[in-house]
């Protein structure tokens, strides 16, 4: 299915016009509604990271689980938290601490040879949330990995036939937001054919009235 940046830009403009001025910066939210989609079928479930063309106007927290030189690389690259191999052991059997960690950070990455330990220690909490760490080789250049996370969002279809996600902030250029919407739609379309199942595309600010495209 082909999407049109000018039309998506116009939709964002309409959503901004529908929103009253607030004393805080509102998020721009995207809702993609589906019709006739069986969300109970595993093939119709989505839990994907989407790399956006533009940052979404909020801090994205990245946690790296590392050892050796990768610890220094991760810290120098600006990871919000670096958990060393020794510190990882402190989470074993402490589900409350693991849940707190999962709540605080959006993305996780771990040195490849630590993945087995990560799975045993954090997997029961991170797995169901779709936050299991991406394996990172010890020699990896961490900076572009963290940069990619900073401009990514997670797109999910679970129990309801819809995707809801933040795609920007109201102060952003409307075309930049439209480019982010395009990235989300293209990701969905690769998994679920939108020309068959799309019902509507809705854009709104946090507290504003929705603008809808059918």
Could you state, in order of their start, the residue ranges of all structural domains in the chain? 5-57+151-213, 62-149
What is the predicted pLDDT for the residue at 2?
A: 65
Distance CA 38, CA 114 (A): 37
Selection from 84, 148, 130 nearest residue 110 by Cα: 84
Angle (CA) 95 156 54, round 5°: 105
Write down the pLDDT at residue 100.
96
Please report how the helices 95-104 and 115-126 are oriented relative to each other, as an axis angle in degrees rounded to 10: 80
Rg (CA), the chain: 19
Q: Are the CB atoms for 155 and 188 separated by under 8 Å?
A: yes
Q: What pLDDT is stored for residue 98 in this prediction?
A: 95
* Gap between the Cα atoms of 35 and 196, Å rounded: 8
Indicate yes or no: pTM above 0.85. no
User: What is the chain's pLDDT, residue by residue, as a tens digit (214 residues)?
Assistant: 567 899 999 999 999 999 888 778 789 999 999 999 999 998 888 888 898 988 887 778 999 999 999 999 999 999 999 999 999 999 998 999 999 999 999 999 999 999 999 999 999 999 988 899 999 999 999 999 998 888 888 898 888 999 999 999 999 999 999 999 999 999 999 999 899 999 999 999 988 899 998 7
In angstroms, the CA 155 to CA 188 distance is 8
CA distance 38 to 111: 37
The CATH architecture to which 62-149 belongs is 3-Layer(aba) Sandwich (3.40)
For 5-57+151-213, which CATH superfamily applies? Ribosomal protein L1/L10, rRNA-binding domain (3.30.190.20)
Query: By CB neighbour count within 10 A (0-12 exposed, 13-18 middle, 19+ buried), where does 137 fall?
Result: exposed
């Amino acid at each position: 299915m082909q999407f049109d940046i000018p039309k998506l830009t116009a939709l964002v403009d309409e959503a901004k016009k529908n929103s009253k001025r607030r004393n805080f910066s509102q998020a721009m939210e995207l809702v993609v509604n589906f019709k006739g989609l069986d969300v109970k079928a595993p093939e119709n479930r989505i839990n994907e990271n989407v790399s956006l063309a533009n940052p979404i106007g909020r801090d994205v927290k990245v946690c790296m689980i590392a050892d050796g030189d990768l610890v220094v690389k991760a810290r120098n690259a600006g990871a919000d938290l670096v958990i060393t191999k020794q510190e990882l052991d402190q989470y074993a059997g402490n589900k409350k601490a693991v849940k707190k960690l999962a709540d605080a950070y959006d993305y996780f990455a771990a040195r490849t040879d630590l993945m087995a330990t990560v799975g045993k220690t954090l997997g029961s909490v991170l797995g169901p949330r779709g936050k299991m760490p991406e394996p990172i080789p010890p020699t990896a250049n961490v900076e572009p990995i963290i940069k990619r996370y900073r401009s990514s969002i997670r797109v999910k279809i679970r129990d309801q036939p819809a995707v809801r996600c933040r795609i920007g902030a109201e102060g952003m250029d409307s075309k930049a937001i439209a480019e982010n919407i395009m990235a989300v739609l293209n990701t969905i379309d690769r998994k679920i054919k939108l020309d068959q199942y799309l019902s509507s595309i809705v854009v709104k600010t946090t507290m504003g009235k929705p603008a809808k495209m059918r």
